[in-house]
């Protein structure tokens, strides 16, 4: 592919700069009074992409706060990702670096942005195939877990509570299982206790181990020594995971 002429590259760079800072440059072949349409159209693409990726954040912030964040991000941030759908991820670091006032006003904001970006990322991720076979026994055999999954930890319950009603008193340790259903393509979030988060993480780390083999560790680390009760509870949890397509 031939390189752009220096003059063409210069004109493109001037137009790109103008769409961001609004300072109209001297350009060749521009019809007077029409240049501002380019800036409006480009900004609308950026704002729509951010708003569609972070609808819960839009609902948390005031309309003015969100408009200012979008405008500042558009004007001053040098995006790294060439794909438009990945561009919103960069807003997380931008707010953390340049808008600490928002984090102070909304302590749940960082977790909320991370949650919403995870959802977008899972919708767009490449398919990963389940390992062959199905789980044969919820207690005595390994679980065939959905490979399109992970456990996220949060300081605020953004995955189970409307962010507008979260306060500093809600701060704690929260665990969320995120996974994508194979048949529907939907991204699901499941609140987990610390014990269940540990269990899923352990079973994902060693695909050959069964829950039953972990009973001695569970008794020691979590104080659960009633194996009959544990078997019943894990069986119910397994059934829920299977019905949600987290286990095959």
The DSSP bridge partners found for residue 190 are: 177
Asked whether the predicted pLDDT for residue 25 surpasses 80, the reply is no
Nearest to 29 by CA among 56, 10, 50: 10
Q: Which helix (H) or strand (E) holds 109?
A: helix 109-124
Q: Which of 114, 241, 130 is nearest to 188 (CA)?
A: 241
Percent of the chain scored above 70 by pLDDT? 85
Backbone CA torsion sign across 167, 169, 173, 174: negative
pLDDT at 91 over 60: yes
- Nearest partner of 238 among 109, 143, 117, judged by Cα: 143
**pLDDT by residue (tens digit) across 166-196?**
999 999 999 999 999 999 999 999 999 999 9
pLDDT at 154: 98
Across the range 67-71, mean pLDDT stands at 95
Q: How far apart are CA 139 and CA 99, in angstroms?
A: 48
Fold of 130-248: Outer Surface Protein A; domain 3 (3.90.930)
Residues 80-109: what's their mean pLDDT? 95
Mean pLDDT of all residues in 39-60: 91
Q: Is 139 helix (H, G, I), strand (E, B) or coil?
A: coil
pLDDT of residue 27: 64
**pLDDT single digits (tens) 214-248:** 999 999 999 999 999 999 999 999 999 999 999 99
Tokens 């440059």 sit on residue:
25
Q: Considering the chain, what is the average pLDDT of its residues?
A: 91
Structural domain boundaries of the chain? 1-106, 130-248
């Amino acid at each position: 592919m031939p390189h752009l002429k220096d003059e063409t590259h210069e004109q493109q760079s001037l137009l790109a700069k103008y769409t961001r800072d609004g300072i109209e440059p001297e350009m060749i072949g521009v019809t007077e009074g029409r240049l501002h349409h380019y800036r409006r159209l480009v900004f609308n693409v950026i704002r729509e992409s951010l708003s569609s990726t972070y609808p819960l954040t839009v609902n948390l912030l005031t309309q003015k706060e969100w408009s200012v964040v979008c405008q500042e991000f558009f004007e001053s941030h040098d995006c790294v990702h060439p794909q438009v759908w990945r561009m919103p991820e960069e807003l997380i670091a931008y707010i953390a670096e340049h808008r600490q006032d928002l984090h102070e006003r909304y302590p749940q904001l960082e977790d909320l942005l991370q949650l919403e970006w995870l959802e977008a990322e899972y919708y767009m991720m490449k398919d990963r195939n389940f390992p062959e076979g199905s789980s044969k026994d919820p207690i005595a055999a390994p679980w065939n877990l959905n490979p399109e999954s992970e456990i996220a930890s949060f300081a605020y319950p953004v995955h189970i509570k409307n962010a507008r009603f979260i306060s500093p008193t809600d701060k704690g340790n929260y665990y969320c299982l995120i996974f994508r259903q194979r048949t529907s393509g939907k991204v699901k979030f499941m609140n987990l206790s610390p014990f269940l988060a540990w269990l899923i993480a352990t079973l994902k780390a060693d695909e050959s181990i069964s829950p039953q083999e972990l009973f001695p560790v569970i008794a020691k680390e979590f104080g659960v020594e009633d194996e009959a009760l544990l078997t019943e509870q894990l069986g119910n949890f397994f059934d829920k995971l299977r019905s949600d397509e987290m286990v095959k």
